[in-house]
Amino acid sequence: MPQPPRHLLGSLDLSPAAFGALVARAHAIRAGARPDFSGRVGALLFFQPSVRTRLSMESALARFGGAAVSMTPGAETWQFAHEPGEVMDGTAQEHVRELGPVLSRLSDLIGVRRAERIGGGGAGSSYAELAQDLFLHRLAACAEKPVLNLESNRWHPLHGLADRMLLEQRLPRPAGRRYVLTWAYHPRALPAATPHSQLLAACDLGMDAVLLCPPGYELEPEVLAAGRARARAEGGDLTVSHDPASALAGAEAVCVKSWGRLDRYGEPERESAEKAPLRTPWLFSARQLALTRRAFVMHCLPVRRNVVIADEVLDSPHSAVIDQAENRLWTAAAAIEWALRLPSAG
């Protein structure tokens, strides 16, 4: 009897140990192990622009014998519908109930990046609704092949893998060491998906993890509770701080990231006005770096220089953003191999 497809849709889908095994495999691939993707095709749907996620997936498949077909719905294809019982008399021309099975018959792996626009009002503009990631889950329910989440409204699990790999590279014994995920100003309201997955990566390693943000910019309570439980199970902890001086003291790893205030989804003008005074105080510069314990600095990229992180940090030996980006390749390869249920080659 065929096994069900092995999806990876969120950063809580697997245990810390299972994610650790994926990262261990990524380390092995970087060291020279070669997965065998011969004859395998990945169908990748990118509803939003992508550089590192798209290139890492395409490169991983190509380097190890497979192929990728990337599509931009609405530009290179038509729009897709996903609501049950939907009367399709609008712009969408295909439903996930056909899309999922068709992609499954024509490829071996499906990747999806879809994070709806934050703001603009209307249906689906609240965080509670967007965080359900309905398109992703409904497509996966119809698919006969594995679906990988390449970033949604709530999760970016492959980025969490790459960040965990970097933490293990830079801190061979990360448990108990201080990791700070700090908010930074951005002119746009960005999804909480990446910081959710980044924070859980540190928690899974048992680090002394701190979420540093202005009041009101805390991440999803359920994610924080899960992260705290996972950190404590490994001997660490997760706390929330609004004070940069105390949070950054003793930090050995700092991840800088922007995200929109969860209770302001659908209200972009209001959030923009409220966060304007936070721009300068929350720019990560040499002043903030000096508060740490000679920390290395992470960012998922792309980064707005001198808005999110200052040149003096990005151009210093403390910056780890290029190594962090490279790890997207190795962890993508490990995730593809896992999703396809392939035996780990040497």
Percent of the chain with pLDDT over 90: 91
**Tally of CB atoms within 10 A around 209:** 29
Q: Which helix (H) or strand (E) holds 241?
A: strand 237-241
Q: Which amino acid is at 4?
A: P
CA dist 294 to 10, 41, 62, 282, 297, Å?
32, 43, 38, 19, 9
* Residue-by-residue DSSP string for 145-192: S-EEES--SS--HHHHHHHHHHHHHH-SS-TT-EEEEEE---SS---S
Mean pLDDT in residue range 278-286: 98
pLDDT single digits (tens) 113-171: 998 866 544 445 789 999 999 999 999 999 999 999 999 999 999 999 999 999 999 99
Give the model confidence (pLDDT) of 226-259 as tens digits: 999 999 999 999 999 999 999 999 999 999 999 9
CA distance 33 to 54: 22
CATH of 16-155+328-339, one of 3.20.20.60, 3.40.50.1370, 2.60.120.620, 3.90.950.10: 3.40.50.1370
Question: Per residue in 13-72, pLDDT tens?
Answer: 999 999 999 999 999 999 999 999 999 999 999 999 999 999 999 999 999 999 999 999
Q: With contact defined as beta carbons under 8 Å apart, do 53 and 78 qualify?
A: no
Q: Where in the chain is the domain with CATH 3.40.50.1370?
A: 16-155+328-339, 160-325
Average pLDDT, the chain: 95
Q: pTM to 2 decimals?
A: 0.96
* Three-class SS state of 118: coil
CA distance 52 to 255: 17
Per-residue burial over 226-258, b = 16 or more CB atoms within 10 Å of its CB, e = otherwise: bbbebbeebebbbebeeebeebbeebbbbbbbb
Put residue 145 in one of left, alpha, beta given phi > 0 → left and psi -120 to 50 → alpha: beta
- CATH H-level superfamily of 160-325: Aspartate/ornithine carbamoyltransferase (3.40.50.1370)
Instruction: Report the DSSP beta bridge partners of residue 319.
Output: 297
CA distance 293 to 177: 11
